[in-house]
Amino acid sequence: MIKRKDSKTVEACFFGGFLLRSGEHCLSEADGRTKQLWLLLEYLLMHKEKMIGSFELQNVLWKENEIVNPSNALKNLVYRLRHLLSEAGFSQESPYILSKRGGYCWNPQIKCFSDVEEFDEWYRQGFDEQNGPEERMKALENAAELYRGDFLEGKIYEEWAVFFTEQYRRRFFECAEKLCQYYEQTGRFEQEENLCEKARRIDPFAEEMQLRFLKALAEQQKFSLAIAEYQKITELYYQELGMQPSEKFRARYREITEHVDYAKSDLITIKEDLRETLNEEGAFFCDYDAFKHIYRLEARSLERSGQSVFVCLFTLNPGPENTFSKQNRERAMSQLKEALTG
């Protein structure tokens, strides 16, 4: 069972950014202070069941030779952390941070519960085969709801946090995948759409979630929206990865377009539908799937008149390094696009 939280329990939130709560009192990184101060608090809370040695904390907080006297710096940081908690209105009946035997720990007498612990418990219940299907799905829904974003979002360069970030992201997507299967089996496509939308925000390159998202839209007959979202996905892959979506995506796109009714009541409506929303001139940009159809149409048209069709390929060469940074690739693609549009 999930532990009950009362007004005296300190609640630590790690998903989507750090937050500490106790009753009406709240403390977050938006309040300022140095990065090391928050890292110290976060690390102590994630390992609150044990005493952490000073040397271990120094390695977490500072790089080698970053400061002259890390031992004194750590003592000063602990003092400042205790003062910060007191200043924020947290109880002063007993110290939150204890120091003994050359190390530091969260005071075990102060009840503290985190969203990470709650997620772990719902995750365990969700994959426990001894529970019934409905009970497992409810547990997975609770876990997915708790996951408001990556573990300590924005701290991807903190080595100790990378393990937790990858672990909980993987577990979230395991929950999402299981839930999507359940939603499809029970015809709950709106719930699947909402869950996939959340997963897409967390990782826009999670292909399976993108495919399920498009399918959920199609199952609700939101075909126009599905096509628009496919175009966005295609553009994202081109801009960020310099590649087109996989054949699975293109196959899903073809499935969706088969259901679109393009029949219109009159010529005026058809012309309005075909008209470009923006008055753009120059080259026409589209994904590779659309290009194939345009090419085949042009080839047939020119063949009747005995003319030839030519294809020109522009390749961006990264130079001797044989690699593009994301920033350089985007700038080069933008310049190429400007050159083509003239």
Highest mean pLDDT of the ranges 109-113, 276-280, 304-308: 109-113
Predicted confidence (pLDDT) at residue 269 exceeds the cutoff of 60:
no
Phi, then psi, of 98 in degrees rounded to 5: -100, 150
Predicted confidence (pLDDT) at residue 278 exceeds the cutoff of 60:
no
Predicted confidence (pLDDT) at residue 234 exceeds the cutoff of 80:
yes
Contact 237, 244 (CB under 8 A): yes
Give the pLDDT confidence score for residue 302 in this predicted structure.
Answer: 77
The pLDDT confidence band at residue 265, using thresholds 50, 70 and 90, is: very low
pLDDT (tens digit, 9 = 90+) per residue, 63-107? 887 888 999 999 999 999 998 888 877 766 778 999 988 899 999
Predicted confidence (pLDDT) at residue 334 exceeds the cutoff of 90:
no
Instruction: Look over the chain and give the mean of its residue pLDDT values, rounded to a whole number.
Output: 85
Phi, then psi, of 176 in degrees rounded to 5: -60, -40
Q: How many CB atoms lie within 10 A of CB 70?
A: 19
More confident residue, 297 or 265: 297
Predicted confidence (pLDDT) at residue 14 exceeds the cutoff of 50:
yes
Give the pLDDT confidence score for residue 91 in this predicted structure.
Answer: 66
Contact 202, 243 (CB under 8 A): no
Give the pLDDT confidence score for residue 328 in this predicted structure.
Answer: 76
Calculate mean pLDDT across residues 132-147.
97
Predicted confidence (pLDDT) at residue 19 exceeds the cutoff of 50:
yes
Predicted confidence (pLDDT) at residue 284 exceeds the cutoff of 90:
no
**Four-point Cα dihedral 227, 147, 153, 71, nearest 10:** -170
Calculate mean pLDDT across residues 240-246.
81
Calculate mean pLDDT across residues 204-227.
94
Give the pLDDT confidence score for residue 161 in this predicted structure.
Answer: 92
Provide the H-helix boundaries in the chain.
35-46, 54-61, 70-87, 115-126, 133-146, 159-186, 189-202, 207-219, 223-241, 247-257, 267-274, 288-304, 326-341
Q: How far is CA 105 from CA 40, 95, 289, in A?
A: 10, 11, 58
Give the pLDDT confidence score for residue 329 in this predicted structure.
Answer: 77
Give the pLDDT confidence score for residue 1 in this predicted structure.
Answer: 40
Give the pLDDT confidence score for residue 270 in this predicted structure.
Answer: 55
Predicted confidence (pLDDT) at residue 292 exceeds the cutoff of 60:
yes
Query: In 3-state terms, what secondary structure has residue 106?
Result: strand
Q: Which tokens in the block code for residue 203?
A: 């990782």
Highest mean pLDDT of the ranges 239-248, 261-270, 332-341: 239-248
Calculate mean pLDDT across residues 159-182.
95
Percent of the chain with pLDDT over 70: 89
Predicted confidence (pLDDT) at residue 273 exceeds the cutoff of 60:
no
pLDDT (tens digit, 9 = 90+) per residue, 307-327? 777 888 888 777 766 676 777
pLDDT (tens digit, 9 = 90+) per residue, 144-168? 999 999 999 988 778 899 999 999 9
